[in-house]
Amino acid sequence: MSRVLVAMSGGVDSSVAAALLVDAGHDVVGVTMKTFCYSDTSGHGKTCCGLDGISDAKRVAAALGILHYVFDVEEDFTRDVIDDFVSEYARGRTPNPCVRCNSNTKFPDLLARGKALECDRIATGHYVRVEHTETGSFLSRGTDTSKDQSYFLWGLPPSILPQLLFPLGELNKPEVRSRARALELATADKPESQEICFVPSGDYRDLLKRRLGPIHPALEAGPLVRRDGRIVGEHSGFAGFTVGQRKGLGGGFSEPMFVLEIRPDTREVVVGTQEETFLDRVVVADLNWLTDAPAPESSVRVQLRYRSPAVEATVTAAGGRLTLQLAEPQAAVTPGQSAVVFDGDRVLGGGRIESAGSLAPTSGVPSPPSA
């Protein structure tokens, strides 16, 4: 029987994933990744992040009769995830740190350490499925569409896929909870984690201020402008905004205003009506393919943010970047977020949204919607 390394965050999902693997008769080793220190964010002592997660994971591992270790990935996590998060916001973009972590830190480290521990399989508590077939291994959405986490896994090195196991792929959350309760796992009734793990307060701007310093263009006041260049107000730093955002733009408009675009060079935050947030052309960079890349002119489905449905699109250009023409304009297509390309439920791959616009002769700068 092969040995499986299961990543245990100390939450209920990965606890149940580990329990299912033990039940299935695998030789299971649990690990928790220590990603960063709260000392960096709170100023109190050396209390380390995830220490609660680590102790919960240890309790669950002991209850399951498996060994458990801590992988300290703090240095890699800081460089690959937190630094990237900060620099993306400083460029006026809205990053997906969980994608970055899975792609650059978590899975590569699990694979490398797993090899040292003679684990030929890597498992996590993600709600996704992986099919291992004669022709290769394929990643798909989890059966529970409300929990599906495939959006966060497009960046995995494709060579990892054959080694992955996702025991929760065909379960829904209530099933996972009841399983945890039946096993009397210490984590059975733990609440969901919603925040970005290294921004426990939920306010990422504090982190940006600490890491960028108090004087940085992204944190300085700048103009709120309309598409036609009219200045309609002032904002307190573009890093506090994301495309599609309505809050924080001040009042005095005849109809609700939304962020359409952030221009870091001029510190302008472009605002407009809800109608103006709809765009139908997306340029995607930093591509990663888990299967063959889609051919030009092919039809795909693309998911442009977490928890939003995939929409139909046509590939108009492929290569180093992918250009997608959406069948229907979509609201708030946000640079920095992931664009994940699907064939049905199967994840083909994805990339980071570089820019969005509408069918227009000029590239780069979006034009007003033609409606």
Catalytic residues: 101, 197
Closer residue to other proteins, CB minimum distance, 16 or 123: 123
User: Which uninterrupted H or E stretch holds 303?
Assistant: strand 299-303
Closer residue to other proteins, CB minimum distance, 30 or 240: 30
Q: Which two tokens stand for residue 83?
A: 């630094």
Q: How far is the CB of 119 from other proteins (least distance, A)?
A: 9
Q: How far is the CB of 26 from other proteins (least distance, A)?
A: 14
Q: How far is the CB of 8 from other proteins (least distance, A)?
A: 14
Closer residue to other proteins, CB minimum distance, 78 or 303: 78
1 binds other proteins (CB under 8 A): no
Closer residue to other proteins, CB minimum distance, 111 or 164: 111
Residue 224 near residue 237, CB atoms below 8 Å: no
Looking at 44, 65, 116, 191, which residue binds other proteins (CB under 8 A)?
A: 116
Looking at 93, 100, 106, 113, which residue binds other proteins (CB under 8 A)?
A: 113
CA 300 to centroid of chain Cα atoms: 20
Say how far apart CA 259 and CA 269 lie, in whole Å. Answer: 7
Q: Which two tokens stand for residue 79?
A: 């460089």
Among residues 306, 292, 300, the alpha carbon closest in space to that of 336 is found at: 306
Residue 17 near residue 66, CB atoms below 8 Å: no
Q: Which two tokens stand for residue 351?
A: 């990339």
74 binds other proteins (CB under 8 A): yes
Looking at 8, 35, 71, 355, which residue binds other proteins (CB under 8 A)?
A: 71
Looking at 39, 42, 79, 117, which residue binds other proteins (CB under 8 A)?
A: 117
Among residues 358, 335, 334, 336, the alpha carbon closest in space to that of 280 is found at: 358
State the binding string over 51-70 for other proteins (x if CB under 8 A, else -): ----------------x-xx
Site for other proteins in 17-36 (CB under 8 A): 29, 34
118 binds other proteins (CB under 8 A): yes
The percent of the chain in helix, strand and coil, each rounded to the nearest 5, is: 30, 30, 40
Stretch of 10-18, 115-123, 166-174, 345-353 contacting other proteins, by CB under 8 A: 115-123
- Location of structure tokens 């990237």: 84
Count CB neighbours of 296 within 10 A.
Answer: 13
Among residues 353, 284, 342, the alpha carbon closest in space to that of 141 is found at: 342
Closer residue to other proteins, CB minimum distance, 163 or 337: 163
Say how far apart CA 82 and CA 74 lie, in whole Å. Answer: 10
Interface contacts to other proteins, rule CB under 8 A: 29, 34, 67, 69-72, 74, 113, 115-118
